[in-house]
A and B are shown apart, each in its own frame.
Chain A
Amino acid sequence: AQTVTQSQPEMSVQEAETVTLSCTYDTSENNYYLFWYKQPPSRQMILVIRQEAYKQQNATENRFSVNFQKAAKSFSLKISDSQLGDTAMYFCAFMRGNAGNMLTFGGGTRLMVKP
């Protein structure tokens, strides 16, 4: 079974600064996908960024980027130029390839962006 661990229950950052959220996972699979989801107070789950395990290049989406270290099974999220609207819960998630699209979530990190 896969496990996903987010070791930072809460974090805070000043507006316009950079913050990194940590995520580690455990799997014996070689084909898989990793995701970061954002859940604002509205509780809607919003996909922030995704990474295919077979790709060596780290994914980037505007101010969001990841540091994917496959050997270390680490998948951290970096948010640059933090904005007040980034305040939310962030969940790291794992999906096995070719196995029905099931997601396994980490426990989440609550991020507070301070003005």
Chain B
Amino acid sequence: DAGVIQSPRHEVTEMGQEVTLRCKPISGHDYLFWYRQTMMRGLELLIYFNNNVPIDDSGMPEDRFSAKMPNASFSTLKIQPSEPRDSAVYFCASSSTPGRPTHSNQNEQFFGPGTRLTVL
């Protein structure tokens, strides 16, 4: 498996523009997570999905942020309009349901390489 795939790896945009970050989880994983990493706040969970359904979006900073998971192999995180304070590294991670007896890495979250977003 190629692991969690994120695109783009780097994004530079101007304030007010729409930004869309993309994630492809590991095949067979039923949990997907979006994290944001900044110097000031560290690693924060923004939202997570289980079986494509958003379960907890309490970490989403404000209405400018939205996330979707239209199918098991794809998720997007959208910021509209973007602001300079949104500049951060955004990680996507996936994992499988605890208790699956055949899975050797229960509970482990596998992270993508991250998207470094810069809003000017």
Contact = CB atoms under 8 A, between A and B. Distances in A.
A44 B56 contact: no
Given A95-B107, A98-B98, A103 B45 contact: yes
Contacts of B113: 42-44
A102 to B, nearest CB: 6
Max chain A C-beta neighbours (<10 A), residue from B33, B42, B113: B42
B45 A102 contact: yes
Contacts of B107: 33, 50, 95, 101
Interface string A44-70: 111100100000000000000000000
Interface residues of B, number: 21
Contacts, number: 49
A2 to B, nearest CB: 11
Interface residues of A, number: 22
B89 interface: yes
Contacts of A33: 107
Interface string A63-79: 00000000000000000
A107 B42 contact: yes
B108 A50 contact: yes
A108 B108 contact: no
Most buried by B among A33, A45, A101, A107: A101
Nearest to A91: B43
Contacts of A35: 108
Contacts of A102: 33, 45, 48, 56
21 contacts: A35-B108, A42-B113, A43-B113, A43-B116, A44-B111, A44-B114, A45-B93, A45-B111, A46-B111, A50-B107, A95-B107, A97-B98, A100-B31, A101-B95, A101-B107, A101-B109, A102-B33, A103-B109, A104-B45, A106-B42, A108-B43
Interface of B: 31, 33, 42-43, 45, 48, 50, 55-56, 89, 91, 93, 95, 98, 107-109, 111, 113-114, 116
Interface of A: 33, 35, 42-47, 50, 91, 95, 97-98, 100-108
